[in-house]
Amino acid sequence: MKCEKLDVWKKSARLSANVYKAFRDCRDFGFRDQITRAGLSIPSNIAEGMEKESIKEQLRFLDIAKGSAAEFATQTYIGMDIGYIDKKEGKRWIDEADHILSMLSKLKNSLNKNRNT
């Protein structure tokens, strides 16, 4: 898989695993399902996109991954507000999501440059 070489995929997959571990015992199944699915969607869409043949399709899946990262950050803010997520841990997750968003933007820019040359 091409994605395994990408730092952004590695970072987002690690974040997703950490979120799953943190919510292992959460009894609010709706919230747990939503935040873990958003976290899982980030590396999954990176992986799916990188296996596409056309750069246009790759870019589309990276956009979806960006949306999932923003969704994850939003749910983390809400989780902190309602006491499901420790504020220090939540801040760390939000910082990671922001870094992932930045990495995805840079990857998209790189793919666009390759497409235009």
pLDDT in tens, the chain (117 residues): 689 999 999 999 999 999 999 999 999 999 999 999 999 999 999 999 999 999 999 999 999 999 999 999 999 999 999 999 999 999 999 999 999 999 999 999 999 987 776
Q: Which residues have CB under 8 Å from 27's CB, separation 6+?
A: none
* pLDDT at 2 (0 to 100): 82
Report the C-alpha gap between 38 and 67 in whole angstroms: 9
pLDDT of 115: 73
pTM of the model: 0.94
Question: What does the pLDDT read at residue 25?
Answer: 96
CATH code of residue 48: 1.20.1440.60
Provide the pLDDT for residue 4: 93
Provide the domain limits for residue 40: 3-116
Radius of gyration over every alpha carbon of the chain, rounded to an integer in angstroms: 15
Q: What is the pLDDT of residue 96?
A: 98
Name the amino acid, one letter, at 84. Answer: Y
Label each residue of the chain as H, E or C: CCHHHCHHHHHHHHHHHHHHHHCCCCCCHHHHHHHHHHHHHHHHHHHHHHCCCCHHHHHHHHHHHHHHHHHHHHHHHHHHHCCCCCHHHHHHHHHHHHHHHHHHHHHHHHHHHHHHC
Q: How many domains does the chain have?
A: 1
Q: Which residue has the tokens 């869409």?
A: 45
Angle between helices 87-116 and 7-22 (to 10 degrees): 150
